Amino acid sequence: MSVLMKKDFDAVVVGSGPNGLAAAITLQQAGLSVLLVEGKDTIGGGMGSAELTLPGFIHDVCSAIHPMAAASPFFKSLPLESHGLELIYPEISAAHPFDNGKAAFLTKSMKETASALGKDKDTYLNLMKPIVDYWPKIDKDVLGPMLRIPNAPIPLAQFGLKAMTSALMLAKRFSTQEAKGLWAGMAAHSIQPLSNLTTSAIGLVLMAAGHLGGWPIPKGGSIEIANAMASYFISLGGKIETSTYVKSLKQLPSSHAVLLDVTPKQLLEIAGHKFSSIYKWQLEKYRYGMGVYKVDWALDEAIPFTADAARRAATVHIGNTIEEIAAGEYASSKGKIVEKPFVLLAQQSLFDDSRAPQGKHTAWAYCHVPNGSTTDMTERIEKQIERFAPGFRDRILAKHSFNPTQMENYNPNYIGGDINGGILDIGQLFTRPVISASPYRTSAKGIYICSSSTPPGGGVHGMCGYHAANRALKDVFNLRAKVL
């Protein structure tokens, strides 16, 4: 009998979010016996969908639109379509309306997107075309650990020079309100002040993803991504156990490796006694960012945006000018409540008729708030939508809200409502979650962290889980994951 046969499982993965599922799949693909443990009675983590308002109205509990899933090398390697996943690609990925009734927008066509920006057409093309052209050469480097030798160092350096700048600095390339506003809405996904270094990175990646493939919607809800991943994992021989909330390693069956899809706070609670003092000290210093306040609506009709592009977009960034968005994000980061917050809105039912009864619609939106805030932002969010879609409130049949505390109760990885697993600013770009040549490996043998608190950070892409599993395969089993 081999040494590996003396354990209940070769590896145990805790948490079934996109990264936990990715880690479990990667390990199972390598021929190991893997158990995936989930605290809730359903899998998926942030990829949940439920009837939050009225019967027949399916809302995405957390994640909704998935540009990073479409751009992820890991997701591209999986046969998820054969396991029931159907992705819908709206013609307009995102729109950004202004008070004058017009809107900038992002489509798969760079020329179409750029042409709508008037005088900034050539500036936009000069910014984005090189990134789109060399993205296939750098995607694995951008979506991987920072401290390693890149596959394509020159293109990566060219991307990095733009990505490392602040969004406000890069915005100076543009002269029009339309281009600056569109850019600000993209960069605001970084969930930090737009004056911070590195805030350009997420904006560039999201725009490139829109031009390369689009921002897809999973038919039936985000839970369908999790269901397809779980189905594939089980088809490989993997095991899933739900309704088992792990507070201690003692709860887990014996294994050679444990991978935890949790943030540093839970990692300390679950396995802190196993760690060195310096590793524990670094985890305790880990910083979380702004939280989110989220609202879902059941609607009698679609949202009546004034701008045509906003009525046809899957995602709508509501915040008007770059100055307004930047001021709001900065104030929220300083613990203040903003009267006119930047709102990220999705209208999935425009493209997926399974989300609502015939003729009815759903809407999903959130804004950034101070970490842990309990202030009710529903009224402020609705006023912002009404500002660009007069008559919106008249179409509301029911609503459901989540403040940051409730978000954390739903998913413990959302500390204080931080959906990114910790702020991804310059101070944590190279130290996520600690200073280490291998951010996935903890100081305890056989214990790994595979959450969005590791590179490349938040988003439904599975790359954190893939890289963590690859590290465990090399360290513990002297194996290598399938090359993406």
Q: pLDDT for 154-187, tens place per residue?
A: 999 999 999 999 999 999 999 999 999 999 999 9
Q: DSSP 3-state assignment of 313?
A: strand
Residue 426 in domain:
yes
Alpha-carbon torsion (320, 173, 459, 73), positive or negative: positive
DSSP for residue 299: E
Residue 404 in domain:
no
- For 312-349, write each residue's pLDDT tens digit: 999 999 999 999 999 999 999 999 999 999 999 999 99
Check pLDDT > 90 for residue 370. Answer: yes
Number of domains in the chain: 1
Task: Print the domain residue range for 37.
Answer: 3-48+64-85+218-287+421-477
Q: What is the pLDDT of residue 4?
A: 36
Q: What is the pLDDT of residue 446?
A: 98
Distances (CA, A) of 16 to 21, 54, 244, 455: 5, 27, 11, 18
Q: Which tokens go with 253?
A: 């069956």
Residue 367 in domain:
no
pLDDT band at 297; cut points 50, 70, 90: very high
Residue 466 in domain:
yes
pLDDT band at 464; cut points 50, 70, 90: very high
Which residue carries 């805790």 as its tokens? 14
Residue 438 in domain:
yes
Check pLDDT > 90 for residue 105. Answer: yes
Check pLDDT > 50 for residue 432. Answer: yes
Q: Are strands 313-318 and 92-97 parallel, antiparallel or unpaired?
A: parallel
User: Please, what is the average pLDDT of the chain?
Assistant: 96
Q: Please tell me the distance from the alpha carbon of residue 133 to that of residue 208, in angstroms, as a whole number.
A: 9
Q: What is the pLDDT of residue 159?
A: 94
Q: Please tell me the distance from the alpha carbon of residue 137 to that of residue 121, in angstroms, as a whole number.
A: 25
Which DSSP helix (H) or strand (E) runs through 254? Answer: none
What does the CA dihedral 356, 380, 294, 372 come to, rounded to 10 degrees? Answer: -170
Sheet holding 396-402, edge to edge: 103-107, 92-97, 313-318, 343-346, 361-369, 291-299, 396-402
Residue 108 in domain:
no
Residue 338 in domain:
no
Residue 270 in domain:
yes
pTM for this model (two decimals): 0.95
Check pLDDT > 50 for residue 5. Answer: no
Helices 277-284, 264-271: inter-axial angle, 10-degree rounding: 140
pLDDT band at 192; cut points 50, 70, 90: very high
- CATH code of the domain in which 7 resides: 3.50.50.60
Average pLDDT over residues 376-402: 98
Average pLDDT over residues 457-463: 96
